[in-house]
Amino acid sequence: MTPGDFHHLSVLPREVLALLQPQPGERFVDGTLGGGGHAGLILEAIGPNGQLLGLDRDPEALQAAGRRLATFGDRVILRQGNFSEAARFVAELGWQGVDGMLLDLGVSSHQLDTGRRGFSFQTEAPLDMRMDPEADMTAETAVNTLPEDELARIFREYGEERFARRIARRIVQVRARQPLKTTLELAELVRGAVPGGHVPARIHPATRVFQALRIFVNDELDSLRHGLQQGLDLLRSGGRLAVISFHSLEDRIVKQTFRREAHPCTCPPSLPICSCGRQPRIELLTRKGVRAGEAEVADNPRARSAVLRAVRRF
């Protein structure tokens, strides 16, 4: 599959627009551009005087989005980079804040379906998993060099894998004889390391390990923490930030960050009035996460796990 074949179905498009409420002439950041689906909808809404900065770590995504969004001309500015650096990119453009920002987390359909990227164990491929192909750390480096304790921590914390220690120990035993090189090698190792791994199941036993390695290789959770803070800092008064997450670790960080910024008071409940002086910066627009409906899930099964949360800056 070539870069020109990039494909990705944008999840919750109507819901994203309803929460971001892009208006003519506004400036937006799409911090996870992907194939440009959400960005195109936002650009249509902000009209001929609006601008959008699109960021993505994946150069293939940027190329595809550039083609898809070419009709918008210089109203769309594309940069390769992590959304955790959004403030730097916005400053380079000379923008004084933004009216809205979107983060659509996780891997794209294209990244999962392109075997050579190593995100999936459906086909044999190098153990890569980098969203930015120029990054130093790969999944192969991780599984072949990290100590057993660190591998176990990664699988337990980032994959919520109950057999993390057992899998890590088996990896260390196998790599002592020969380094692990491919996705199928690792998937079969995990299958053999966990109890009942060869019993047919709805979820492959290596799913959580692959998720954990992808998160570690791309430093996804720290990037999310920094990106959320930068997004909130960049918003003008009335500006909105929307985030789509795809697993519980991401959603927990988003939910806790938003709640902390919306309810920052640290005073004991027994105090009649607030004495800490901490004032909320944002209003929660989604008390509960918004999920895809049955029709969208039928068209795009990956939308099933998507959770959308949004806030408005005071």
Tens digit of pLDDT for each residue in 283-304?
999 999 999 999 999 999 989 9
What's the pLDDT score for residue 22? 98
Tokens read off for 135: 């990054």
Which one of 174, 196, 217 terminates a domain? Answer: 217
Whether 255 and 192 share a structural domain: no
Residue type for position 260: R
Question: Among 153, 269, 284, 276, which Cα is nearest to 216's?
Answer: 153
| Rounded Cα–Cα distance for residues 190 and 173 (Å) | 12
Which one of 217, 241, 263 terminates a domain? Answer: 217
Whether 147 and 294 share a structural domain: no
Q: Is residue 115 part of a domain?
A: no
Whether 230 and 93 share a structural domain: yes
Whether 213 and 224 share a structural domain: no
User: Residue 249: pLDDT above 60?
Assistant: yes
Which one of 217, 247, 277 terminates a domain? Answer: 217
Q: Is residue 59 part of a domain?
A: yes
What's the pLDDT score for residue 197? 77
Please tell me the total count of domains within the chain: 2
What's the pLDDT score for residue 272? 87
Whether 190 and 148 share a structural domain: yes
pLDDT tens per residue across span 94-137: 999 999 999 999 776 666 655 578 888 888 999 999 999 999 99
CATH of the domain at 308: 3.40.50.150
Structure-token match 């105090």, residue found: 271
- The sign of the torsion formed by the CA atoms of 227, 228, 232, 233 equals negative
| Rounded Cα–Cα distance for residues 242 and 73 (Å) | 25
Q: Cα–chain-centroid distance for residue 312?
A: 20
CATH of the domain at 185: 1.10.150.170
Whether 305 and 247 share a structural domain: yes
Whether 159 and 290 share a structural domain: no
Q: Is residue 255 part of a domain?
A: yes
Whether 97 and 193 share a structural domain: no
HSE-CB of 33 using CA atoms within 13 angstroms: 33
User: Strand (E) positions, the chain?
Assistant: 27-30, 51-56, 76-80, 98-104, 235-245, 282-284, 307-313
Whether 99 and 224 share a structural domain: yes
3-state secondary structure of 191: helix
Q: Is 199 exposed, middle or buried (0-12, 13-18, 19+ CB in 10 A)?
A: exposed
CA distances from 221 to 49, 87, 112, 224, 264 (A): 35, 18, 19, 5, 22
Tokens read off for 265: 């008071």
Whether 86 and 151 share a structural domain: no
What's the pLDDT score for residue 196? 84
Q: Is residue 128 part of a domain?
A: no
Instruction: Write down the pTM of the prediction.
Output: 0.92
Whether 252 and 304 share a structural domain: yes
Q: Is residue 283 part of a domain?
A: yes
- Mean pLDDT, the chain, rounded, equals 93
Question: How many other C-beta atoms can be found within 10 angstroms of the C-beta atom of residue 200?
Answer: 6
Whether 35 and 101 share a structural domain: yes
DSSP assignment, residue 182? B
Q: Is residue 125 part of a domain?
A: no
pLDDT tens per residue across span 60-100: 999 999 999 999 999 999 999 999 999 999 999 999 999 99
Structure-token match 């994959």, residue found: 159
| Rounded Cα–Cα distance for residues 312 and 1 (Å) | 40
Crossing angle of helices 164-175 and 183-193, in 10° steps, is 130
Q: Is residue 120 part of a domain?
A: no
**Which range of residues forms the domain containing residue 208?**
136-217
Average pLDDT of span 235-252: 97
pLDDT tens per residue across span 250-283: 999 999 999 999 999 999 988 888 889 899 999 9
| Rounded Cα–Cα distance for residues 102 and 245 (Å) | 11
Q: Is residue 244 part of a domain?
A: yes
